[in-house]
Amino acid sequence: MEIIDSKELLNKAIKPRKSDSKKGDNGIALVVGGSWLYHGAPTLAALAALRSGIDLVYLATPKNIAPSIRAISPNLIVLPLPDAKLTKGSARRLIKWLPKKVDSSVIGPGLGKQNTDGMKLLVDELSMSKIKILLDADALQLDVIERLKGKDCVITPHAGEFKRVFNIELKGNYEDKAIMVKEKAKEYNIIVLLKGKYDIISDGERVVINKTGCSAMTVGGTGDVLAGLVAGLMAKGIEPFIASVFGAYINGIAGERAYQKLGLHIMATDLIDELPFILKPFDRVEE
């Protein structure tokens, strides 16, 4: 097992930007989430993805909350889905709306409990288009995950969600937990990013423990930021396992920086505000 704390590795992972690149060349992400109760979760994920340094983020959300999200930020391209939940109809409409080029996607933040038929249809279509997929929150359903075996899918459960999905309660020390995370990652041929005091990331072969972060990050929304950040890094061309490792690392550093300034009074948006300062040292432009 490894403990990540390497700026050199991150520098190698983030590719230089070409000086003659145009809009869209540096990454496009899709976030699908939200419900009548939760408009913040998908917005946080989308803003974090954009702050990772990609060019465009599409946010697909029920039409009844689309105006609220549009009012929060003019930087997001909001796609108002026709139904209150992610139905097959909404999934089909979204698939028709999407541009030809989308690099990565996040499905789940704020969706709420619902039937998984629309999710399964959507992940089938996205995976056929070679779009990298991250499942979070309410999209963490076993029948959805099973559709993505061997397709570089990332899932980001906390311990409670891990138990709900796999019917396994994680006990013992972090090495014991890492064994179970690795086993499930290997069984389903996916990347598992288990969120906790220490994050555990595995692709079934490699296992990394991330120790960045702080106790202030119990505030709601930090997991949504993480999901969006990982999707952004994948959209920049970083392979899903490495994107998951560095997403956890950077998200934790952002939490630590916010805590240093604000103590136990941080909000998830404070983490997003820190991302440019963490990532800027790795910026390079290739002539």
Could you tell me the sign of the dihedral formed by the alpha carbons of 203, 189, 104, 225, in that order?
Answer: negative
Residue 219 exposure: Cα atoms within 13 Å on the Cβ side: 23
Is residue 152 within 8 A of residue 191, CB to CB? The reply is yes
Query: What range does the domain containing 169 cover?
Result: 2-286
Domain of 97, CATH number, reads 3.40.1190.20
Element (H, E) at 31: strand 28-32
Model pLDDT, residue 18: 92
Closest CA to 279 of 17, 44, 23, 46: 17
Angstrom distance (rounded) from CA 38 to CA 81: 15
Is residue 62 within 8 A of residue 36, CB to CB? The reply is yes
Could you tell me the sign of the dihedral formed by the alpha carbons of 107, 211, 279, 222, in that order?
Answer: positive
Q: What is the dihedral of CA 8, 197, 138, 127, to 10 degrees?
A: 20
Q: Could you read off the pLDDT tens digit of each residue along the chain, which spans 287 residues?
A: 554 545 666 777 888 999 999 999 999 999 999 999 999 999 999 999 999 999 999 999 999 999 999 999 999 999 999 999 999 999 999 999 999 899 999 999 999 999 999 999 999 999 999 999 999 999 999 999 999 999 989 999 999 999 999 999 998 888 899 999 999 999 999 999 999 999 999 999 999 999 999 999 999 999 999 999 999 999 999 999 999 999 999 999 999 999 999 999 999 999 999 999 999 999 999 87
pTM above 0.85, yes or no: yes
Number of domains in the chain: 1
Which residues pair with residue 17 across a beta bridge? 285
Give the C-alpha distances (Å, rounded to integers) separating 27 from 123, 130, 238, 248, 255.
19, 14, 11, 19, 24
The bridge status of strand 199-202 relative to strand 207-210 is antiparallel
What value does the CA radius of gyration of the chain take, rounded to a whole number of Å?
17
Angstrom distance (rounded) from CA 51 to CA 65: 22
Angstrom distance (rounded) from CA 206 to CA 74: 39
